[in-house]
Amino acid sequence: MTEQADGTATRTEGLAPVIPAQRRPGQAPVPRPRRSLAQVLGGELPEFAADRLALMTRLRAEQGDAVPFRLGTVRALLLSDPAEIDAVLVRRNKEFGKHFLPLVGGSLLGQGLFTSTGDLWKRERRLTQPAFHRSRLAAYDRVMVRYAREAADSWADGEVRDVCDEMMWLTMRIVAAALFDADVAGDAQVVGDAMEGVRKSLSARLSAPIPYPEAVPTPTTVRLRRGVRRMDAIVQRFIDERRSGGVEGRDDLLSVLVGANDDETGGMSDRQLRDEVMTLFVGGHETTALALTWTWHLLAQRPDVLAAVREELDRVLDGRDATSDDVRSLTLLTDVIHESLRLFPPVYAFDRKVLADTTVAGHRLRKGTVVVISPWVVHRHPGIYDRPEEFRPERWAGGAVRRLQRSSYLPFGGGPRVCIGNGFAELEMVLVLATILQRLSFEQVSLAPPVPEASITLRPRDGLPLRVRP
Ligand code: HEM
């Protein structure tokens, strides 16, 4: 392992050199490394199963910004050129569908906003969008600050906490309260265990040589179904409570969705309602929790940046609670968040499936080929970012994020299927960090850097234990 400037460890052993050695005239050809039987049959699948980040990083470094590769039976193209990514996500988006998430996310996410396509997706997006409108987002600030304060008040000076677990718990409470007006105080353990099972089994199926349906009983699919059953019970409780309480006169997201739940008028079926609520509950807490976790890691590594952020909080807030109106004044904190999302994008890769034979970045792609877009790879591309492996919040100063070429910074994806919760997540991150930092901070307990693990999302493999400091 080697430690990087961003304070994580990467595996470099066994990687091919980034620039292939040049052959001099008269020199014997360098023998190609032997491919194992598993590689011949599975293409890049064995390396994908072992370390996805290393595989994608290597492919781009060795072969450029559009690299065809194969994962078992699936043909894929790793695309890292912002202009070409933009074409796929934005200009030519109608030519592409989604592949892995609908394939492996089946019984958990169903046909929710993440996975649905066509008219169903349009309808779901139209119904859900108002809850994420700028004017609505501002009203969530009190919930965000309240739960962050409660979390900070429950930690004692000097104790060691797994910040990854703490952030999961905090963001889960926030999303349930803000979007569904529900309290999940008693559910942390159940959701944590269920999501762990779901995550492990989805990740295992993502690396399987032949994609197999969930109905095939393997230890991972059994675990997945158990996890989904538990999550279902929680989501159903949100819905039942709202139905019994009535939706008259209420305009929060759950009321809107429950109000649209009407099979007879061709509205949203019970199943659709469940899929939608589940998608927002799962998608709305896990990613933001990880983004916050990585930000705490970076701040714990850089006391100078931490001190400057605190100075900004003192100057702007002068001891009072932050509100959504303060966000635009907390510029350094916002830059830190942008830099954290660049180095550790919780959604480290996503994909688009070719719907009919076409050409992308000069490559002929057959129907069914999967275009893989990796924020992890693009954000660490030396042709786009100066000293890309380093944590340098100052690179975002003066609103630089708006001056970047489109699709060279894409923690939230892009085009019509851009993350619906991006404004929610950014507001939540600023308010949670500000509220906690007004009370305490975290310091490293170990010099061993966290190892980023790319399962469904990007997490620190062994959690993130940090010590609470006043
Ligand atoms: C830092 C936090 C977050 C990150 C990094 C993130 C990342 C992403 C990305 C990359 C996509 C696009 C995937 C694709 O194109 O295939 C996406 C979509 C989505 N996200 Fe987020 N997300 C975050 C927070 C949230 C929150 C807070 C919510 C809801 C409360 C949410 C709900 C969704 C939904 C429903 C979609 C699917 C949108 C559609 O296809 O129309 N996300 N997210």
In this prediction, residues 301-322 reach a mean pLDDT of 97
Q: In the prediction, which pLDDT does 33 show?
A: 59
Contact (Cβ atoms closer than 8 angstroms) between residue 298 and residue 361: no
Structure confidence at residue 172 (pLDDT): 93
Q: Ligand 1 centre and the CA of 349: distance in Å?
A: 12
The domain total for the chain is 1
Which phi and psi (to 5°) does residue 216 adopt? -70, 120
The two counts, helices (H) then strands (E), for the chain are 18, 14
Q: Is 8 among the domain residues?
A: no
pLDDT, position 13? 27
Average pLDDT, stretch 417-442? Answer: 96
The encoded tokens of residue 467 equal: 């010590």
Q: What is the residue range of 69's domain?
A: 38-469
The number of angstroms, rounded, from the C-alpha of 189 to the middle of its chain's C-alpha atoms is 22
Tokens of 40: 């011949």
Does residue 11 sit within a domain?
A: no
Q: Find out whether the beta carbon of 417 lies less than 6 Å from any atom of ligand 1.
A: yes
Q: Can you tell me the ipTM of this complex?
A: 0.99
CATH at residue 291: 1.10.630.10
Which ligand 1 atom is the nearest neighbour of the CA of 416? Answer: 41
Judge if the beta carbon of residue 411 lies within 6 A of ligand 1. yes
Kindly state the average pLDDT of the residues 251-263: 77
436 in a structural domain = yes
Q: Please indicate, yes or no, if residue 31 is contained in any of the structural domains.
A: no
Segment holding 226, helix H or strand E: helix 219-245
Rounded-to-integer distance, Cα 327 and Cα 298, Å? 20
The whole-number pLDDT of residue 1 equals 39
pLDDT grade for 206, boundaries at 50, 70 and 90: confident
Buried/exposed code over 221-251 (b: 16+ C-beta within 10 A; e: otherwise): bebbbebbebbeebbeebbeebeeeebeeee
Query: What is the overall mean pLDDT for the chain?
Result: 87
Q: Which of 25-39, 72-86, 128-142, 414-428 has the lowest mean pLDDT?
A: 25-39
Contact criterion met (CB below 8 Å) for 96 and 87 = no
Ligand 1 centre and the CA of 337: distance in Å?
A: 16
Q: What is the pLDDT of residue 199?
A: 78
C-beta 287 within 6 A of ligand 1: yes
Q: Is the CB of 340 under 6 A from ligand 1?
A: no
* Percentage with pLDDT > 70 across the chain: 88
Give the start-end residues of each E strand in 44-86.
Answer: 66-71, 74-79
Query: Rounded to whole angstroms, how far apart are CA atoms 364 and 244?
Result: 55
Q: Is the CB of 350 under 6 A from ligand 1?
A: yes
Both structure tokens of 189: 């353990």
From the CB of 376, is ligand 1 less than 6 Å away? no
Q: Which atom of ligand 1 is nearest to the CA of 128?
A: 35
Percent of the chain with pLDDT over 90: 57
Which H helix or E strand runs over 72? none
Cross-sheet strand order for the sheet of 66-71? 66-71, 74-79, 370-373, 350-354, 96-97
Q: Is 106 in the pocket of ligand 1 (CB under 6 A)?
A: no
424 lines ligand 1 (CB under 6 A): yes
CA distance 160 to 163: 9
pLDDT value at position 295? 98
d(CA 249, CA 252): 10
Answer yes or no: is 20 within a domain: no
Q: How far is the CA of 114 from the centre of ligand 1 (A)?
A: 8
Cα-flanking dihedrals φ and ψ of residue 146, to 5°? Answer: -60, -50
Q: What separation in angstroms does the CA of 108 have from each of 176, 201, 227?
A: 17, 11, 9
CA distance 397 to 406: 18
Name the DSSP letter for residue 133: S
pLDDT exceeds 50 at position 9:
no
| Distance (Å, whole) CA 414 – CA 81 | 14
One DSSP character per residue, 302-334 reads -HHHHHHHHHHHHHHHTTSPP-GGGGGG-HHHH
Q: Name which of 59-73, 211-225, 437-451 the model is least confident about.
A: 211-225
Instruction: Report yes or no on 289 lying in a domain.
Output: yes
Other beta carbons within 10 Å of 162: 15
pLDDT at 350 over 70: yes
DSSP 130: G
Ligand 1 pocket mutation pick from 137, 172, 419, 428 by most atoms within 8 angstroms of CB? 419
Q: What are phi and psi of 465, to 5 degrees?
A: -75, 125
Mutate to test the pocket of ligand 1, among 120, 125, 254, 287 (most ligand atoms within 8 A of CB): 287
Tokens encoding 277: 């609520």
pLDDT of amino acid 21: 33
The answer to whether residue 102 is domain-embedded is yes
CB burial of residue 128 (10 Å; 0-12, 13-18, 19+): buried
Alpha-carbon distance of 115 to 303, in angstroms, equals: 41
Mean pLDDT value across residues 289-301: 97
Query: Would you list the DSSP string of 249-269?
Result: T--SHHHHHHHT--TTTT---
Distance separating alpha carbons of residues 78 and 262, to the nearest angstrom: 42
Question: What pLDDT score does 174 carry?
Answer: 95
Is the CB of residue 420 below 6 angstroms from any atom belonging to ligand 1?
Answer: yes
Task: Please tell me which residue, 102 or 144, carries the higher pLDDT value.
Answer: 144
pLDDT tens-digit series, residues 146-167 = 999 999 999 999 999 999 999 9
What was the pLDDT predicted at 267? 66
Q: Rounded to whole angstroms, how far apart are CA atoms 56 and 20?
A: 17
The residue ranking higher by pLDDT, 337 or 105, is 337
Residue 160, SS3 per DSSP: strand
d(CA 83, CA 361): 9
Collapsing DSSP states into helix, strand and coil, what is residue 185? helix
More confident residue, 213 or 370: 370
Q: Is 274 helix (H, G, I), strand (E, B) or coil?
A: helix
Which residue lies with its CA nearest to atom 37 of ligand 1? Answer: 114
**Whether pLDDT at 48 is above 60:** yes
Residue 355's CB: how many other CB atoms inside 10 A? 13
Strand-pair category, 2-3 with 66-71 = unpaired
